A and B are shown apart, each in its own frame.
Chain A
Amino acid sequence: MYIIVDAWHYSHFKDMKIELKKFGNLLTSRQDGREALAAINPQLRTLTEREKIDIDFEGVITFTPSWADEFITKLLDQFGDRVTLSNTSNPSVQATLDLLKELN
């Protein structure tokens, strides 16, 4: 019975995907980063312990440490390695993530 229930849970797990482009292609200020985090907060609260968060940078043109510090850093602080990043080839995304790695 236990196995059946667990399988049912697995079949219904759906990792959370955050498409940053929905917040715009110019993500630069702390204020905007804070507002973006506040906007996804209701979804974050429904996450189960097994669900992961994928942050998708596709469509982002300009990205900075100020914005990232209010959004990415906070998610990493809270969810650790459950957070994955995808489509990070943009040079401003790369440069920002390099700095975050150095800081943490």
Chain B
Amino acid sequence: MLDRKLHIGEASKYLGVSIDTLRRWDKSGKLPAKKSSGGHRYYSYQDLDLYRQDIFALATKWVLGKSVEPKSEFYSPTSTGFKERLSKLQTALEKLEILEEYYPLIVAVTGEIGNNSYDHNLGNWPNISGIFFAFDINKKQVALADRGLGILRTLRRVRPNIENDESALHTAFTEILSGRAPEARGNGLKFVREVVLNNLLKLDFHSGNARVIIEGNSNKIKFSTTDVYYSGCLALLTF
């Protein structure tokens, strides 16, 4: 599947940018499309990943790939290790003057997404326990991923009637969950949504075949289904 040619619409979805943006990038040479013998423009996954060559591509590959631990520099097997790395993110962001006083919100959102993975998969990790966590200060990106049970399966413990991944994601990000049994839920993803919307951040979050994109600058939250299935969770936070 990874060798397949993608038309511009698919490439747009894969990268999470608009078709117009891809056309501009093609013209400017920032991300040139290839041309088939028939003159049609296309992209390959390799081209798109090479362009990204970033932490999110690495996170995506890990979460979709074979059951192996990520590279040690991106791997937080326990929540204690995650906290140590989160502290490094906090220190790095503190130095960015452009973020001014709102940098703790980026750390808080990252913390909630990461800790969600540990809290909801404790003792139930299907294969690799722990999470992928990396940040790129230059690109202003944070990537997180886990190979856990995913939002649908963990939410069904408190909402057994949830039908599919998209409904689960919708519930997780928009509905207040009051039931505390059988596990504590702090409604952390509602917090994530609010902070992203109110602070010009962007979050691209996948679980199962569902995706949500939350954009602070356009004040939009959009749920959709994807062709690719992510067994756990995958997130890209852009600030």
Interface of A with B (CB < 8 Å)?
Answer: 25-26, 28-32, 61-66, 68-70, 90-92, 95-96, 98-99, 102-103
8 contacts between A and B (CB under 8 A): A25-B90, A26-B86, A29-B118, A90-B101, A90-B104, A95-B195, A99-B190, A102-B176
Shortest CB–CB separation between residue B163 and chain A, in angstroms? 25
Collect the chain A residues with CB atoms within 8 Å of residue B194's CB: 95, 98-99
Collect the chain B residues with CB atoms within 8 Å of residue A92's CB: 104-105, 107-108
- Interface size, chain B (Cβ < 8 Å): 30
| Segment 85-138 of B: residues with Cβ below 8 Å from A | 86-87, 90, 94, 101-102, 104-105, 107-108, 111-112, 115-116, 118-119
Separation of A61 and B102 alpha carbons in the complex (Å):
10
Is B105's CB under 8 angstroms from A29's CB?
no
Q: Which residue on chain B has the smallest CB distance to residue A102?
A: B176
Is B107's CB under 8 angstroms from A61's CB?
yes
Is A68's CB under 8 angstroms from B186's CB?
yes
Instruction: Give me the 5 closest cross-chain CB pairs, A-B, nearest first.
Output: A28-B111, A69-B186, A92-B104, A92-B108, A62-B107
Is B86's CB under 8 angstroms from A28's CB?
yes
Is B111's CB under 8 angstroms from A66's CB?
yes
Is B176's CB under 8 angstroms from A64's CB?
no
Once A62-B104, A64-B115, A70-B184 are accepted as A-B contacts, the answer to whether A99 and B191 lie under 8 Å apart by CB is: yes
Number of A-B pairs, beta carbon distance below 8 Å: 88
Is B184's CB under 8 angstroms from A28's CB?
no
Shortest CB–CB separation between residue A66 and chain B, in angstroms? 5
Contact with A along B7-41 (1 / 0, CB 8 A): 00000000000000000000000000000000000
Shortest CB–CB separation between residue B191 and chain A, in angstroms? 5
Collect the chain B residues with CB atoms within 8 Å of residue A68's CB: 186
Collect the chain A residues with CB atoms within 8 Å of residue B187's CB: 65, 99, 103
Q: Is B83 on the interface with A (CB-CB < 8 A)?
A: yes
Separation of A92 and B111 alpha carbons in the complex (Å):
11
Collect the chain B residues with CB atoms within 8 Å of residue A63's CB: 104, 108
Is B102's CB under 8 angstroms from A26's CB?
no
* B191: contacting residue among A30, A70, A91, A96, CB under 8 A: A96
* A66: contacting residue among B90, B188, B190, CB under 8 A: B188
Highest count of chain B CB atoms <10 Å: which of A25, A70, A95, A99: A95
* A103: contacting residue among B105, B176, B184, CB under 8 A: B176
Contact with A along B173-194 (1 / 0, CB 8 A): 0001010000010111011001
Collect the chain A residues with CB atoms within 8 Å of residue B44's CB: none
Q: Which residue on chain B has the smallest CB distance to residue A61?
A: B104
Collect the chain A residues with CB atoms within 8 Å of residue B171's CB: none
Separation of A96 and B187 alpha carbons in the complex (Å):
11
